[in-house]
């Protein structure tokens, strides 16, 4: 019985994680190539840089699903994904397919995580986590960047969905307020 319940929980969680990637796809699908690479005055990055960063985290997890090592320091700065919206959309779609195919038991596997926690100096820490926890982190991290992408888009004169870039807990809170 425990296995059946676990499988149902993982299926729901996977659906929500895939929906997080789909939010990014939906947002990008409404942008032009020029909007994707534009850097508004006063900012240092374009939407493309944030998308590349999100993809880097999911790619680290894609590798970890086999190696059980999540290395968040493997970045693809200045890659084609950062400069080409069509490439970014294709990569996000492929990550959705990959995430949907991750076996249930992989979410419980222990992984080793490498991440630089230093600001003034390099300080790569190594900690133990689970694959499922790291996917949760990558989704939360993506939503954080979605909020920044939304602000960049608004700085360029664009409009976005009110829900885009909202953390799940914030969306839940707002729903509760609407029902109060």
Residue range 61-81, pLDDT digits in tens = 999 999 999 999 887 776 899
Rounded CA separation 42/30 (Å): 24
The string of pLDDT tens digits covering residues 164-177 is 998 888 878 888 88
d(CA 45, CA 73) in angstroms, rounded, equals 19
Residue with tokens 């990008």: 28
The per-residue pLDDT for 1 is: 40
* Cα(159)–Cα(153) distance, integer angstroms: 7
User: CA 115 to CA 74: how far, in whole Å?
Assistant: 9
Question: Domain with 93 in it: what CATH number?
Answer: 1.20.120.450
Instruction: Give the CA angle between residues 94, 165, 169 to the nearest 5°.
Output: 105
- The reported pLDDT for the residue numbered 134 is 96
Number of domains in the chain: 1
Q: What is the pLDDT of residue 79?
A: 87
- What range does the domain containing 65 cover? 2-179
Residues of the chain with pLDDT below 50 are 1-2
List Cβ<8 Å contacts ≥24 apart for 109-113: 109/68, 110/68, 111/64, 111/68, 111/69, 111/70, 112/68, 112/69, 112/70, 113/69, 113/70, 113/71, 113/72
Residue 7: the pLDDT is 67
pLDDT at 71: 94
């Amino acid at each position: 019985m425990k296995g059946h319940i676990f499988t149902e929980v993982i299926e729901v969680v996977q659906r929500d994680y895939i929906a997080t990637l789909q939010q990014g796809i939906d947002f990008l699908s409404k942008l032009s190539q020029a909007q994707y690479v534009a850097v508004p005055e006063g900012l240092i990055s374009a939407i493309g840089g944030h998308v590349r960063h999100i993809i880097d985290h999911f790619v680290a997890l894609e590798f970890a699903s086999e190696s059980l090592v999540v290395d968040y320091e493997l970045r693809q700065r200045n890659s084609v994904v950062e400069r080409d919206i069509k490439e970014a959309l294709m990569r996000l779609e492929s990550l959705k397919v990959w995430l949907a195919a991750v076996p249930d038991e992989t979410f419980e596997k222990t992984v080793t995580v490498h991440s630089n926690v230093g600001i003034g100096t390099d300080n790569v820490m190594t900690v133990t986590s689970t694959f499922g926890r790291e996917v949760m982190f990558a989704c939360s991290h993506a939503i954080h960047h979605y909020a920044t992408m939304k602000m960049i888009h608004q700085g360029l004169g664009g409009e976005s969905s009110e829900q885009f870039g909202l953390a799940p807990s914030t969306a839940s809170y707002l729903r509760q307020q609407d029902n109060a």
